[in-house]
Amino acid sequence: MTTEERVVAALNYEEPDRVPVWTIIDNAQVYRHFAPERFNFSKIRESREELPSDFLELAGETFNALGIDVTFAWGGMNPFPYEEFPGKTKWANPHPYRTISDLAHYTPEIPSYESIVNRYVKSFRELEQVMKPHTVLIIQGGCSLELGYNHIGIELFCIALYEAPRDIARILDAFSEGERARAQVYADYQLAPAYQISCDIGDKKGTIFSPAFLKRELIPRLEKEIEPIKQAGIKVIFHSDGNIMSILDDLVDAGIDGLNPIEPSAGMDLAFLKKRYGKNLILVGNVDAVGVLPSGTPQQVEEEVKRCIREGAPGGGYFLDTGAAEIMPSFPVENVLSMFKAVREYGRYPISRNL
């Protein structure tokens, strides 16, 4: 079975040849482990390219060697893992707004269809060629709510919800229009069989906004943003860290097809989700990224992978990933290698009842 066949089968709740892996790498030591002697990391530090060509070659080799079936463009191949080059990371996100009055004069620009095509499609296809045929590339889009609070800053955003609700609504609507436009391009060009939308709304105890607020402000905009994707028959995977059980039924009703990363340290129970949603929700993740992967032994990592396969894989519709949705800098290389070895060894279908 090819990688694409494996991925499509799992997306359609079928049992492929083995459990596919869906993740990204933000761990310089993992890249170093697979880097040939000729590879020059200092050259990456000095490069002005967003994705230097020599790094892309290494990324392709690393993803292939590990057996990563799905990753996403740009953020999925970070050439500057933040423990390696702290001044050049994807996490830097300064926001220029300081007061409520600043927001009165701000409306996000809605990109034109043509500008999205020119910016994303060519780059996506070029990057796709690096990863083929061993890794399926998808794009991770945003949602208006996360874009809003990240761009404005969470503190000012929360104050403005009460003091300037019309400004917030206008800003969120503009972000929503922009995300819908990007989704339309993704759908029209059939870039991939799945589309991941990032919208972090959870922490360890629950949602960071009230469920009532999310039902009122997030759900209607989300439905609008993913409508082109749904109409094109592409699966929508919703990403949020934390515990989002209080809003999950509403997200499913809004049209999401899957959930990532199912953070176990936040109380997200993979076995419960599998039983409750069955073939109505693709499950991605749940390997413990807080305790086992950073601090456990390779043997403990193996047992954790076996648990996830046992709870999530039978019947299809499951992709292995960490509960952080990535290979974090804190994960020792030997634990990362153990995770991928375990999924190859124990993730073969039919899944053994003796795991």
Distance of alpha carbon 317 from alpha carbon 324, whole angstroms: 19
pTM of this structure: 0.94
DSSP type of residue 215: I
Mean pLDDT to the nearest integer, 172-183: 96
Helix (H, G, I), strand (E, B) or coil at 270: helix
How far lies 263's CA from each of 31, 206, 280, 322, in Å?
Answer: 25, 12, 19, 8
Whole-number percent of the chain with pLDDT over 70? 93
- What average pLDDT does the chain have? 92
Q: Which residue has the tokens 């039919």?
A: 350
- Distance (Å, whole) CA 233 – CA 269: 28
First to last CA, the chain: 23
CB count, 10 Å around CB of 249? Answer: 11
Confidence of residue 91 (pLDDT cuts 50, 70, 90): very low
Give the residue from 188, 170, 175 showing the smallest Cα distance to 114: 188
Q: Mind listing the pLDDT tens digit for each residue in 279-291?
A: 999 999 999 999 9
| Structure confidence at residue 262 (pLDDT) | 98
Which residue shows structure tokens 């070029």?
Answer: 126
Q: What is the pLDDT of residues 43-87, one digit of tens each?
A: 777 776 767 788 888 889 999 999 999 998 754 456 566 666 655
Residues 5, 14: contact at Cβ < 8 Å?
no
